Copies of this chain bind each other. A is one copy, B any other.
Amino acid sequence: MTISEIAKMADVSPATVSRFLNGGYVSEEKKEVIGKVIRETGYVPLNAGQHLKNKKSKSIGVIVPRLNSEAIARMVDGITKRVNGTDYQIILTNTDNNPENEIENLKFFEFDKVDGVILSATEVTDELIKILNRYNKPVVIISQNIENFFCVYNDNESVSYSATKHLIEQGCEKIIYLGVLEDDSAAGRDRHRGFNKALKEYGLKPVAEKIVDFSVVGGYTGIQEILENQKIEDFDGIFCASDNIAIGAINRLSFTKKKVPEDVKIIGVGDSTLSKAFLPSISTVHLFYEELGDQAADLIIDILEGKKMPIRQIQLGSELCIRESSTELNK
């Protein structure tokens, strides 16, 4: 089904059908006929033809490191929902956690495959910055804040600041930090900063700081090492850079005499399904991942639709979710 066939059926030229589709001048009379034919056939113009002519693919490339992460899946969910109903398509690529693939996908998309890119960057490497600096189409970075580029990200410093402050207000004075590699500037560096900021404000020092995997096992082995190798047993609070880490920590503590939250208060980050369902439920900080994806899609579409706008860094707020793991109120 092509525009010419539609034209023939409506007894007009392809040009007129195209005008009908694109809001050009068409007489009411012909509008009616063409409209009818299109409705009956369900005709949708072929992207490729438009693309060639218009130099617009009407596609947005979305590059993610993986999808089996609740945070990323939620963001992609937000992106795809926002794009529904527009005439843009999402082309999704999965770099399988390999930063090299990230670069490669960016280069690939540069060849007019897409009009713009939403990139969920893992590490902000020099090479990445170099490519972004000379990139020939708009890019919106999600969940990392890179200066001088369009970004939508969580304010990770205030996330961990408010979480840590909450622990302190609950009476914790000997707090452990279980975080992830600082290479990850969002979840690693910024959350560490917020943690330190809160402690400093109250004149406290961390009892232990450990870099672990972004997982339940990470939290488990982190506490394990602190208990067994570092022989630290005197602590009353744990800030965890993710809910999974928090759950791992609680799991490890269940083999000790320390009760959560009576003896040790714990807080995570992310407000995952897990954090709500766990026993005890995990205090955490809600991050607006769907909204983040939504905003990113919104932004890239605005840019693609030609709205002139200065570089913009959209920092999303967060919400403290106080649950059982940090309070004795419940149960």
Q: Which residues of B contact A66 (CB under 8 A)?
A: 77
Q: A62 to chain B: which residues have CB within 8 Å?
A: 92
Task: Indicate if the CB atoms of B96 and A84 lie closer than 8 Å.
Answer: yes
Please indicate the chain B residues that have their CB under 8 angstroms from the CB of A76 in the complex.
67, 92
Contacts of A113 in B (CB 8 A): 44, 46-47, 89
| Chain B residues positioned under 8 Å from A112 (CB to CB) | 46, 48
In Å, the complex CA distance between A94 and B43 comes to 22
Q: How far is the CB of A20 from chain B (nearest CB, A)?
A: 17
A residues contacting the other copy or chain, number (CB 8 A): 53
Q: Which residues from B are CB-within-8-Å of A45?
A: 111
Q: Is the CB of A74 within 8 A of B67?
A: yes
User: Smallest CB-CB separation from A53: which chain B residue?
Assistant: B48
* Shortest CB distance A26–B (Å): 22
Q: In whole angstroms, what is the CA distance A111 to B42 when docked?
A: 9
Is A108 located at the chain interface by the 8 A CB criterion? yes
| A101 contacts chain B at the CB level, 8 A cutoff | yes
Can you list 9 A-B pairs with a CB-CB distance of less than 8 A?
Answer: A44-B113, A47-B51, A52-B52, A62-B92, A68-B74, A80-B92, A80-B93, A247-B277, A278-B278
* A interface with B by C-beta (< 8 Å): 1, 42-49, 51-52, 57, 59, 62, 66-70, 73-74, 76-77, 80-81, 84, 89-94, 96, 101, 107-108, 111-113, 216, 244, 247-248, 250-251, 254, 273-274, 276-279, 290
